[in-house]
Amino acid sequence: MKSCLSRPVRARSLRMIAVALAAGGILAASARAQDADDAEQQWQSLFNGKDLTGWKVKIAGHELGDNFGDTFRVEDGLLTVSYAKYDAFAGKFGHLFYQTPHSHYRFRAEYRFIGEQAPGGPAWAFRNSGVMVHGQSPETMRKDQSFPVSIEVQLLGGSGHGERPTANLCTPGTNVVIDGKLVRTHCLNSKSKTYHGDQWVTVEIEVRGGESITHFVNGEQVLQYQKPQLDERDPDARAIIEQQNGEKLLTSGTISLQAESHPVQFRKIDILILDE
């Protein structure tokens, strides 16, 4: 059947359709960009780049708040773990706790290892640090306690050769479930790449209460597990279980950064609160 529209009319109609489609594409792209901007604006910074406001220091063998040797400090706007004032490490494992516990959130930080390991630091702690989540409060830690009962996202730097993944899982006083099975192995490797030298690496941790925890490195998912829980075999964890009337599932807790004998720096430490 022959069209009753003249060629000029058809041409105008096609141009109008093209303009409408282009406008729709622009609006969709604009909406996506706005959504991304809104999501980014919801991130909250936990570090002001000036001092340790909002954070609490706990170093093994020292009282809460005693920042022995100025271990945790701010240098050039970077949160730095330093051993410049140490004669020897002597088992002084430290943690810097954010003041507020959280349950459902996404944590993001950039980190890099620098300099040389403190004298006397254990071999396994070479270029080793971590982010502890679902942790106990520092007020409940024993004076000589090396690590808070928590889920540790272990941060490792490469030695210059060989493979050494980062954002691994370690479990001081805890266990997790993977593929429906309870895992009691203390440390599990992620599938991340190895990052040698002093390069900055971005780690993200998505914590969803007692449901799941997911690790990301430079935007790539590298590990996931479920049902973080207290390990009754650990004396410190067992005390918490008793206080919680037998409840082992971890649904919230503190966030802390580790000092394990190798200097490390953090920047852009942010949190995004998620709906429960």
DSSP 8-state code for residue 153:
E
- Give 184's pLDDT tier (boundaries 50, 70, 90): very high
pLDDT at 12: 58
Predicted confidence (pLDDT) per residue in 202-242, tens digit: 999 999 999 999 999 999 999 999 999 999 999 999 999 99
Confidence at 24, pLDDT banded by 50, 70, 90: low
- Is the pLDDT at 19 greater than 80? The verdict is no
The overall average pLDDT reported for the chain is: 91
**Percentage of the residues of the chain whose pLDDT score is greater than 90:** 85
Q: What is the reported pLDDT for 4? A: 46
pLDDT interval class at 120 (50, 70, 90): very high
pLDDT score at 1: 45
* Cβ 270 vs Cβ 107: under 8 Å: yes
How far apart (Å, rounded) are the C-alpha atoms in residues 167 and 162? 17
- Tens of pLDDT, residues 238-276: 999 999 999 999 999 999 999 999 999 999 999 999 998
3-state secondary structure of 243: helix
Whole-number pLDDT of residue 25: 56
The percent of residues above 70 in pLDDT, for the chain, comes to 85
pLDDT at 23: 52
Distance CA 186, CA 222 (A): 18
Predicted local distance difference test score (pLDDT) of residue 35: 46
Rounded to 10 degrees, the C-alpha dihedral 191/196/201/205 comes to 30
The pLDDT, as a whole number, for residue 40 is: 54
Q: CB neighbours of 207 closer than 8 A, spacing ≥ 6?
A: 102, 103, 104, 105, 106, 107, 133, 134, 213
Q: Per-residue pLDDT tens for 138-179? A: 999 999 999 999 999 999 999 999 999 999 999 999 999 999
pLDDT at residue 31 in the model: 46
87-107, pLDDT tens digit by residue? Answer: 999 999 999 999 999 999 999
Q: What pLDDT score was predicted for residue 55?
A: 98
pLDDT over 60 at 28, yes or no:
no
CA distance linking residue 151 with residue 226, whole number of Å: 11
HSE-up of residue 236 (Cα within 13 Å, Cβ side)? 19
The rounded distance, in Å, linking the Cα atoms of 223 and 204 is 11
The pTM score is 0.86
Instruction: Tell which CATH architecture fits domain 46-273.
Output: Sandwich (2.60)
What pLDDT score was predicted for residue 22? 53
